[in-house]
Amino acid sequence: MTLDDLSGAAFIFINKSRNQVKMLLWEGDGLSF
């Protein structure tokens, strides 16, 4: 995957049992988790 993590894209992670979601997002001055 060749995406720039500072491009404004959101990265979404879901666990195997699909009962937890985590999202990583660049907000201009830092990363939000």
**pLDDT digits 0-9 by tens, 1-33:** 566 656 667 889 999 999 999 998 877 777 788
Specify the pLDDT at position 18.
96
pLDDT at site 6: 61
pLDDT value of position 19: 97
pLDDT of residue 5: 57
Lookup: tokens for 3: 């995406």
Domain map of the chain by residue range?
Answer: 1-27+29-33
Chain centroid to CA 7: how far? Answer: 11
Token pair 């060749």 in the structure block, residue = 2
d(CA 23, CA 1): 17
